[in-house]
Homo-oligomer: A and B are copies of this chain.
Amino acid sequence: MTERILLDHGSGGMASQRLIKDIFLQHLDDPALRSLDDGACIELQGRRLVMSTDTFTVDPPVFPGGDIGSLAVHGTVNDVSMLGAGPRYLSCAYLLEEGLELDFLERVVASMADAARRAGVSIVTGDTKVVPRGAADRIYINTTGVGSLLLPEPLSGGGAGEGDAVLVSGSVGEHGLAIMAAREGLSFETPVQSDSAPLNRLVEKLLGEVPSVRVLRDPTRGGLATALNEIAAHSGVEMRIEEEAVPVQPAVREACSFLGLDPLYLANEGKLVAVVPQADAERALKVLQADESGRKASRIGSAVRGRAGRVVQRTAIGGDRLLRMLEGEPLPRIC
């Protein structure tokens, strides 16, 4: 039987990793690519730069808290930032379906421009392709970003060590839930907005004050649980997380409970996980909390000896629960 691409291959979870290892890395065997980080550190003219790319297919393209235009800026700005770099320039490539309303396109482009201004990045080059009706779903956007390292070496998912503290910059699950609600026409008592936002200024402050940061990662597809699994596997440590320490908005918690979802597996688009040495945890937390975008930052756990690659959550009632990497695709086209 012919093996085929499943939605699951785009989830950012287990199937995505298998696809990358079994096909992409078999052929595109570059050390930068092999690191499986959010981007690559490259050398050009004796300078080290960071480069990251992402295609956005979010459905619906307009959702509470953002749209595909602003998301396409935030997503790549954040991926560049997670390598310990400051994004400066973005390219944007629009893939449009024949029949898309020009008014709608203009709204998205204006939102992209506004998001770029707010994040302090320049969109310097672009491309537009149009495919016939039925060969795309309205609009997809690729952005690719380049920037400069803020530290002597790029950060990687492999930097966590035993004893390190694990911080998250705010409440989790909002983006995933907002998209799901918008797509399915669900309405909650308290509406949930996507957290889509640029993290570059927060990262700049954090690394400026706490250059000992070991790992940064934005928990997008697959959510916080998947990001922690990636770090644990890459760093060869076990992660132990306190359920009660993970910030979740009450509205998100209620909706998740009602829908049978776990906020730890829902995508975020304006949050980061930071792994920092124990000794610098308090200072890092203060820096995050001092910024509007990190006000709800919390220390959620630690890296321990244990079993390499394992993530364990201590539940509110004191039990231990294994937090696996996302398997299965609960929600395609989340970003």
Give chain B residues whose Cβ lies under 8 Å from the Cβ of A88: 42, 44
Complex Cα gap A112–B24 (Å)? 10
With CB as the reference atom, state the residue of chain B lying closest to A24. Answer: B109
Scan A1-45; emit 1 where CB is below 8 A from any B CB, else 0: 011111111100000100110011011111011000001101011
Q: Contacts A9-B128, A24-B126; is A142 near B93 (CB within 8 Å)?
A: yes
How many A residues are at the interface, by size bracket?
35 or more
Scan A237-250; emit 1 where CB is below 8 A from any B CB, else 0: 00000000000000
The reply to whether A131 and B44 contact each other, CB–CB distance below 8 Å, is no
The reply to whether A130 and B27 contact each other, CB–CB distance below 8 Å, is no
Give chain B residues whose Cβ lies under 8 Å from the Cβ of A7: 98, 130, 132
Q: Which of B8, B28, B54 contacts A112 (CB 8 A)?
A: B28
The reply to whether A44 and B89 contact each other, CB–CB distance below 8 Å, is yes
A327 within 8 A of B: no
Complex Cα gap A44–B43 (Å)? 12
Q: How many copies does the complex hold?
A: 2
A268 within 8 A of B: no
A35 smallest CB distance to B (angstroms): 9
The reply to whether A49 and B44 contact each other, CB–CB distance below 8 Å, is yes
Q: Contacts A2-B101, A132-B7; is A106 near B23 (CB within 8 Å)?
A: yes
A212 within 8 A of B: no
Q: Contacts A10-B96, A112-B28; is A131 near B125 (CB within 8 Å)?
A: no
The reply to whether B89 and A42 contact each other, CB–CB distance below 8 Å, is yes
With CB as the reference atom, state the residue of chain B lying closest to A29. Answer: B113
**Contact sample, A vs B, 20 pairs, CB 8 Å cutoff:** A3-B103, A4-B100, A9-B96, A9-B128, A10-B96, A10-B128, A32-B122, A33-B124, A33-B125, A42-B146, A44-B148, A45-B47, A47-B47, A53-B127, A95-B95, A129-B333, A130-B332, A131-B332, A134-B134, A136-B136
Closest 6 CB pairs of A and B: A10-B130, A144-B144, A53-B91, A40-B124, A27-B113, A40-B125
